[in-house]
Amino acid sequence: MEVVTLGTGSPIPDANRAGAATLVRAGNATLLIDCGRAVVMRLVAAGVFPPMLTQLLITHLHSDHINNFNDVLTTRWIMSPVDNPLPVIGPSGTAAFVDQTIAMLKDDIHYRLEHHNDLNWNPSCTTQEITSGVAWEAEGVRVTAAPTDHRPVSPSIGFRIEADGAVVAIAGDTIPCAGLDEICAGADIYVQTVLRPELIKAVPSPRLQDVLDYHSSCAQAGATAARAGVKTLVLTHLVPAPAPGTESEWIAEAASEFAGEIIVAADLQSIST
């Protein structure tokens, strides 16, 4: 399997880090997990046009994880030669979000259907909501979901992707919890969204302090990786974005709990099992 960290940024805009999105090439499938800021540009840079996606997996409905969903959906629609519904798997609420996005796009959908004679179907999704268990199994791949803890944001889920005898865990935003341990158990690659509490505490913004209690710190991500017997820990969704040259500090914090390989991801970094 191959993991490509398409977007490693957070809600705080950064010129070099797109929003939350990870690509996983597994078996015969091309999976996109979350679809934050600039995801379509990063997908194309990784060699994937939206019509080529096998599944979109959504961890939760925070805007930084879904705010470019409309671009994925519309670009897939207008680039596909035949009707090509986008398969979407996400937590409860995903179907309503999909329906509301399509409703938001009604003027654009009308313009294009009127203008293009060979385009005579609406953009659409096949949407599946899940809390836990096997979410999808085909193309030599099995995707399992488990509930994570991003409260008060609820529900949130993480994904365990199995193919070719390897395991990739995509955690999304969460603090350590039983569901996270479940998807990470024995994983070859564990991708975790993280923050560095000391850096956030140094910023005198009450709104920023609020994010401390529902994200994993680097040390917590390391502890989860150690407990689950993970081989490689990938840190992403970095809050705040590391100043160039300080990546080793992020690694050191995770390494205080975990002796395996630790990667501070950059956009479009490829990691293989």
**For Zn ion, how many residues bind (rule: CB under 5 A)?**
3
- Shorter beta-carbon distance to Zn ion: residue 24 or 239: 239
The window from 57-65, 66-74, 121-129, 256-264 that contacts Zn ion (CB under 5 A) reads: 57-65
Q: Which residues pair with 205 in a beta bridge?
A: none
Of these, 62, 76, 160, 196, which contacts Zn ion (CB under 5 A)? Answer: 62
Token duo for residue 23: 């690509």
Tell me the two tokens of residue 65: 């994880």
How far is residue 92's CA from residue 173's CA, in Å, rounded to a whole number?
16
Of 50 and 91, the one with the shorter C-beta distance to Zn ion is: 91
Q: Return the residue matching tokens 């934050």.
A: 36
CB under 5 A: which stretch of 43-51, 69-77, 167-175, 265-273 binds Zn ion? 167-175
**Rounded distance between C-alpha atoms, residue 194 and residue 220, angstroms:** 9
Judge whether 71 counts as a catalytic residue: no
Q: Percent helix, strand and coil across the chain, each rounded to 5?
A: 30, 30, 35
Amino acid letter, 211 = V
Choosing from 64, 129, 253, 267, the residue that interacts with Zn ion (CB under 5 A) is 64
- Smaller CB distance to Zn ion: residue 64 or 129? 64
**Active-site pick, 34, 64, 188, 267:** 64
| Contact between 34 and Zn ion per CB under 5 A | no
Binding test (CB under 5 A) with Zn ion, winner from 129, 173, 253, 267: 173
Residue 8 three-state SS = coil
Token output for 91:
């937590």
* d(C-alpha 57, C-alpha 34), whole Å: 6
Annotated active-site positions, please? Answer: 64
Task: Note the residues at the interface with Zn ion (CB under 5 A).
Answer: 62, 64, 173
